[in-house]
Amino acid sequence: MRTVQETVEIAVPVRTAYNQWTQFTVFPRFTRTVRHVDQVTPALTSWTVALGPLRTEFQAEIAEQEPDAYLVWRSLGASPAHRGRVTFEPTADGGTAVTVRMDLAPAGRAGLLAAVPALPGRVVRGELLRFKRYIEGLGAESGAWRGTIRGGRPKRPEPERHESGVPHWPVG
């Protein structure tokens, strides 16, 4: 595993930065590498990413998530290619320090990325800076998912925790 870690300070409160981060489907708006995201469930996402001529698709599971604090993911597949953690910490001036720590396996397409010295760090840092420009420019989040995830199992936030939201009568 190759590990990269990057931190960027963002001039919005933790809640705003965190909320925006949960809106995975709009990542293609501000990133260079993410082309498409499907949110299958709160804990399961499908990503299409491209870096130069390399294009790949993977599904990721969010294993742990705590509002305004952190999110832990791992890619799914025969040999998981990467896993990581994003943390959101308040800064002294009311902003947010967003840290991405990412472990890349030396195999598959993520392995190609990992094989080039300094490239993974540069890519992660670049994307973090784009996130910073995006949310600072918006000034407010475009949406939020405030639930929690423990052991890969999502729980909705309390006010809507017990509401189905879809038909739940028996289907024959």
Partner 1 sequence: MKKAPGEEPHDELAVTPPRTWAAGVPAVAHALEYSLEETSARRTGTTLLTMNQVGGIDCPGCAWADPAPGHRHRNEYCENGAKHINDEATTRRVTADFFRTHPVSELARRSDAWLNQQGRLTEPVVKRPGSDFYEPISWNDALALMAGELAGLDTPDEAVFYTSGRAGNEAAFVLQLFARALGTNNLPDCSNMCHESSGFALHETLGTGKGTVSLHDLHHADLIFLVGQNPGSNHPRQLSALEEAKRNGARIIAVNPLPEAGLLRFKNPQKPSGVIGRGTQIADRFLHIRNGGDLALFQGINRLLLEAEDARPGEVLDHDFIREDTAGFEDFAAHVRGVDWSRILTATGLSRQEIEQVRDDVLRSRRVVVCWAMGITQHKHAVPTIREFVNFLLLRGNIGRAGTGACPVRGHSNVQGDRTVGIWEQMPDSFLDALREEFGFDPPRAHGLDSVRTIEAMRAGRVRFFLGLAGNFVRAAPDSAVTEEAVRSCRTTAHISTKLNRSHTVCGETALILPTLGRTERDVQASGEQFVTVENSMSEVHTSQGRLRPASPLLLSEIAILCRLARRALGGKPDIPWERFEADYGVIRDHISRIVKGLHDYNQRVTRPGGIQLTNPVNEGVYSNGVGRALFTRNTGEAPHVPEGHLLLQTLRSHDQWNTVPYTSDDRYRGIHGSRRVVLVNPDDVAELGLADGRGVDLVGVWTDGVERRAEDFRVVPYPTARGCAAAYYPETNVLVPLGSVADESNQPTSKSIVVRLEARADSPPDSRGT
Contact residues: partner 1, CB under 8 A: 36, 38, 40-44, 46, 59, 61, 76-78, 147, 150-156, 161-172
How many helices and strands, by DSSP H and E, does the chain display?
4, 9
Quick check: 144 and 22 in contact, CB under 8 A?
yes
Ranges of beta strands (E only) in the chain are: 2-10, 34-41, 44-51, 54-66, 70-75, 82-90, 96-104, 148-150, 153-155
Q: Which is nearer to partner 1, 2 or 146 (CB)?
A: 146
Smallest gap from Cβ 39 to partner 1, in A, equals 9
Hey, how many other C-beta atoms are within 10 angstroms of the C-beta on 78? 7
Smallest gap from Cβ 147 to partner 1, in A, equals 7
Smallest gap from Cβ 44 to partner 1, in A, equals 4
Q: Which is nearer to partner 1, 13 or 152 (CB)?
A: 152
Smallest gap from Cβ 141 to partner 1, in A, equals 20
For residue 147, which of 69, 76, 94, 82 has the smallest C-alpha distance? 69
Smallest gap from Cβ 160 to partner 1, in A, equals 8
Q: Which is nearer to partner 1, 34 or 128 (CB)?
A: 34
What burial class does residue 40 get, using C-beta atoms within 10 Å of its C-beta: 0-12 exposed, 13-18 middle, 19+ buried? exposed
Q: Which is nearer to partner 1, 63 or 112 (CB)?
A: 63
Q: Which is nearer to partner 1, 52 or 151 (CB)?
A: 151
Q: b or e along 5-32 (b: 16 or more beta carbons within 10 Å of the residue's beta carbon)?
A: ebebebebbbbbbbbbbbbbeebbebbe
